[in-house]
Structure 1
Amino acid sequence: MSTKAEHYDVIRKPIITEKSTMASENGAVVFEVDIAANKPQIKEAVESLFGVKVKAVNTTITKGKVKRFKGMLGRRKNVKKAYVTLVEGNTIDVTTGL
């Protein structure tokens, strides 16, 4: 059985942007998750940490951009986002924190 510490390793932080706010109107919440996490792990982590029922999980990987850091070329890390759709009647308030 998974422990709570492992669930915090899967889900890093909620993402609050204009697009994620529009998704929350349809019962979805957006999280930054571990790059190696799969959909069943994300579903189990959200259900156990927040006490809600998850209907679906969609994931996307945003590739890191090449940027300049103090004149040197550097690269941002790749980020995996999970769009978690909740069952009707379930909500998560991401503005209060865990």
Structure 2
Amino acid sequence: MSSNPTHYDVIVSPVITEKSTMASENGQVMFNVSPTATKPQIKKAVEALFSVKVKAVNTLVRKGKEKRFRGMIGHQSDVKKAIVTLEDGQSIDVTTGL
């Protein structure tokens, strides 16, 4: 990633799972982000793209698993996720596109 990435380079996609849906009830939203993205970059990107105030950003890296398909070994990619906590009264509807 360049030294000055755009907001669309930082946020890759929203995470829509059962766990992220339950977290949205507490004002948290999950995103897949660039592996080199920092917490301040993620905060800036979410505030700019969705027009909300961000309280906190937590990140995690899920290591890729080894999978087999028809006897061939393959590897899933590592994925960096960001759990973004919004200020009270703020919300993001990730089911609609930007």
TM-score of the superposed pair, with normalisation by structure 1: 0.91
Amino acid at match of 2:60: T
TM-score of the superposed pair, with normalisation by structure 2: 0.91
Cross-structure match for 1:37:
37
In 2, Cα distance between the equivalents of 1:52 and 1:69?
Answer: 42
Could you tell me which runs of 5 or more consecutive residues in structure 2 were left unpaired when the two chains were aligned: none
Could you tell me which runs of 5 or more consecutive residues in structure 1 were left unpaired when the two chains were aligned: none
Between 1:64-73 and 1:54-63, the stretch displaced more is 64-73
Cross-structure match for 2:56:
56
Q: CA deviation at 1:70?
A: 4.4
Cross-structure match for 2:17:
17
Q: CA deviation at 1:73?
A: 1.0
Cross-structure match for 1:71:
71
Aligned pairs for 1:77-96 (under 5 A) are 77-96=77-96
Amino acid at match of 2:8: Y
